[in-house]
Amino acid sequence: MAYTALEKMRSKNLETYGKNVGPAQPMLYGSGLERADLKSAALRFLHERCEELKFDAKIEAKEEATGMLCGTSLMPNQIPYNMQMDLNRLCLEKALERFIDSGVAEDAYDVYYCYLEIFFGRYGKSKKMVELLSEFEANGSSLLMKHRDHYSHSVYVFALGLAIYETNAIFRRVFQEYYGIRSKNEKQQERKAANLFLEFWGLTSLFHDIGYPFELPFEQVMSYFEVNKQDRGQGSLYIAYRDVDVFTKLGAAAKKQFQKLYKKDFDTITALLAFDVTDKLGAQYDFTEEKMLDVLNRKPVEPDDFGYFMDHAFFSAVRLFHELEESVKAPGITKMHVDALSAIIMHNSLFKFSISFYKARDKAKRKRPLRMEDHPLAFMLMLCDELQCWDRTAYGRNSRTELHPMAVDFDFSGNAIRACYYYDEAEQEKINEFRKDYKAWEKGGEKGDAPRLKAYSDMAEKEQRFTSDIKKIVDLTEIPLHVVPDTRRNDRTNKHVFLSSSNFLHLYDFAVAIHGKDRSQDTPTAELERQFEMLSLEYQLSTLNRAKNFSRYLDAIDCFYTDKPVDYEMVTEFTPQQAAIFAPLEHERWIREHQAMGWVYGKDYEVVPLPKGIKSDSPEGVEMRKTLREQMRCHHIAMDGSVTTEDIRDHYLALPEEFQDKDWKPINSMLKLLKKFDGLRIYKLD
């Protein structure tokens, strides 16, 4: 069983109550088909390879010895601790599934949220690190000449790495050998390796671009001149950073930890990363620690030495280190954390232009591509970062008019990667013009530069620039790569794009307020956050998803929200008629969410006998019934099986009024909350 703690709880319930009351074993997408596409492979990795993720045998033994449970569901101490860990993993699996289906930033947010809750302890501590990148890109990137999304991009990169690990036995073997992963039996070893990969690949991939807010101001200044077709270079006005040592300096605890790990003293995180990169690659690529440190020290202060580019990877690594220092704490930082940081600092330009010189005009200066045995996390990051060029929102002025792939089909079978990148068939005229020009260039003896059509030409031309460039960066001897372009109709129905728009960046704060809607308005924010964080990850995500679906509900009643003053009728409260439209939609969200999380229909938690002397209507009895519901994972208004929207609507209409009210009355409260947290107003179209 993939979710072993859930199965253990089901068996215990069966033994206790003499009937199969739940929990249900969650279903795997594409179960039994062993498909090798991106979605199937990535979700299968989470579902099957990551059994017992974050389980704690000591806590489990304590629970069995004392009879006191340590896991949190709706409230603390309701379920076994390992059952909570299983549910957390299921949350991540379902969040990734939603994101792969949609590709939108709001669903990428859920993946970040789950990862931080599982591996960092709580999202609230790290939310600024995650939200800052999204905020900068959404608001500042339109001033640039070239810029595309890095927020959803990073989650796609994360999914790609999981899929490759799942399907490529060669990489799995290299990863296990590199980190010396050994266990008593092969299954335990595979599980241990997969859980370790999930943690540190997640750290590497999800945060490899969080330094972009440092690069964007630099590019904005450059764009001011490039808009007049002035190339960057000698004579360009550029910005550089000063007092960088304030940013890179190690604290006393970090110094002590790294001395313990490496038996060497470091004053800055830059010095540590220079050492780690050199230790891994210096001998093979002929550079010293001193030379690498010099390169890293000059990155933020002398961009003119690097083609007048600012390297966001430098800032991503340093920024992530400070997050680890704050959340994991210095004594908890390991060599694998440092490996994630060194993979990040290399991924953008450091390896390509300061280590391997993969585009040097003098071919003798070029070094071999990175092998997976050299640095598995860096290898995977650079490979997936290059492959992930589809479905990325274009922000820059030029980027918005260029032709980029909108979708992709992957086949990871046979330890290989076959990718078909799709371009919008509405752009066929551009493609035909390119093909015509390219054929003319060939017939003319291939004089001068070949015609280009951004990403399409890199995949369609005989030079196969897209694939050949990747092969110059990472050694694909063990992972053959074959890429082809194609066209198809652009279907954006999965994007859930609605008229409502704003800088809707405060989902966490919004969800905290929704959960605390019944508290006094004078309740301090810190207390509201504390109460929200007492919920399990499952219930936190449910509240977040209620907030995210608000724009969908407004769309259904011909309303929208915006932070801009517009000449439409403002809505201050929803009418019963409007509620009758969107309440069934909220009920559908709740039903499908519970089905995905393994809940089943049932009333057993309401009727099974309680311990002698405890009455069902007593405060203790009420709490015990709630606890039984969480342990059985059955609910009297849940639904089983494959149900349609119409089925769920009929189910909603048959509910007593008190349960119908739960689907729409809290949404009225959101009107005030939106105004408070985002300065938004609700307007009616007609």
C-alpha distances (whole Å) from 240 to each of 135, 227, 296, 541 are 22, 21, 14, 40
**Could you give the percent of the chain with pLDDT greater than 90?**
58
Q: Which two tokens stand for residue 658?
A: 């008190």
The model's pLDDT over 557-581, given as tens digits with 9 standing for 90+, comes to 998 887 778 889 888 888 888 888 9
Of 195, 241, 234, 238, nearest in space to 88 by CA: 195
Which residues in 538-613 belong to E strands, given as ranges? Answer: 559-562, 569-571, 600-601
The model's pLDDT over 609-636, given as tens digits with 9 standing for 90+, comes to 888 888 888 989 999 999 999 999 999 9
pLDDT of 539 higher than 60: yes
Mean pLDDT of 519-526: 75
DSSP character at residue 401: G
520 exposure class (CB count in 10 Å sphere: 0-12, 13-18, 19+): exposed
Provide the b/e sequence for 224-238 (b: ≥16 CB within 10 Å): ebbeeeeebeeeeee
The model's pLDDT over 14-45, given as tens digits with 9 standing for 90+, comes to 999 888 888 999 989 877 677 999 999 999 99
**Which range, of 27-36, 392-401, 461-470, 636-645, averages the lowest pLDDT?**
392-401
Confidence class of residue 504 from pLDDT cuts 50, 70 and 90? very low
The model's pLDDT over 578-604, given as tens digits with 9 standing for 90+, comes to 888 989 999 999 999 999 999 999 999
pLDDT of 156 higher than 90: yes
pLDDT of 83 higher than 80: yes
Mean of per-residue pLDDT scores for the chain:
88
Which residues in 441-584 belong to E strands, given as ranges? Answer: 481-488, 559-562, 569-571
* Residues 214 and 284: beta-carbon distance below 8 Å: no
Confidence class of residue 651 from pLDDT cuts 50, 70 and 90? very high
Q: Which two tokens stand for residue 194?
A: 């997969």
pLDDT of 56 higher than 50: yes
pLDDT of 152 higher than 90: no
pLDDT of 124 higher than 70: no
pLDDT of 230 higher than 70: no
pLDDT of 356 higher than 60: yes
CA distance 666 to 669: 5
Confidence class of residue 400 from pLDDT cuts 50, 70 and 90? very low
Of 72-86, 135-149, 500-514, highest mean pLDDT: 72-86
Task: Tell if the pTM clears 0.85, that is, is over it.
Answer: yes
Confidence class of residue 145 from pLDDT cuts 50, 70 and 90? very low
The model's pLDDT over 409-458, given as tens digits with 9 standing for 90+, comes to 999 999 999 999 999 998 899 899 988 998 998 888 888 888 888 788 88
Could you write out the DSSP letters of every residue in 93-104?
HHHHHHHHHH--
Helix (H) or strand (E) holding 408, with range, is: strand 407-411
The predicted structure's pLDDT at residue 140 = 53
468 exposure class (CB count in 10 Å sphere: 0-12, 13-18, 19+): exposed
Could you write out the DSSP letters of every residue in 221-278?
HHHHHHTTTPPSSTT--------THHHHBPPHHHHHHHHHHHSS--SBHHHHHHHHHH
The model's pLDDT over 375-397, given as tens digits with 9 standing for 90+, comes to 999 999 999 999 999 887 654 44
The model's pLDDT over 173-227, given as tens digits with 9 standing for 90+, comes to 999 999 999 888 899 999 999 999 999 999 999 999 988 888 888 887 887 766 5
Mean pLDDT of 337-363: 95
> What is the torsional sign of CA 405, 407, 411, 416?
positive
Q: Which two tokens stand for residue 161?
A: 């790495």
Mean pLDDT of 150-158: 90
The predicted structure's pLDDT at residue 513 = 79
CA distance 97 to 155: 11
CA angle, residues 663, 665, 668, in degrees to nearest 5:
120
The predicted structure's pLDDT at residue 396 = 41
Confidence class of residue 370 from pLDDT cuts 50, 70 and 90? very high
The predicted structure's pLDDT at residue 657 = 87
The model's pLDDT over 41-53, given as tens digits with 9 standing for 90+, comes to 999 999 999 999 9
More confident residue, 170 or 121: 170
The predicted structure's pLDDT at residue 493 = 67
Mean pLDDT of 250-277: 97
The model's pLDDT over 309-322, given as tens digits with 9 standing for 90+, comes to 999 999 999 999 99
**Which range, of 129-138, 279-288, 387-396, averages the lowest pLDDT?**
129-138
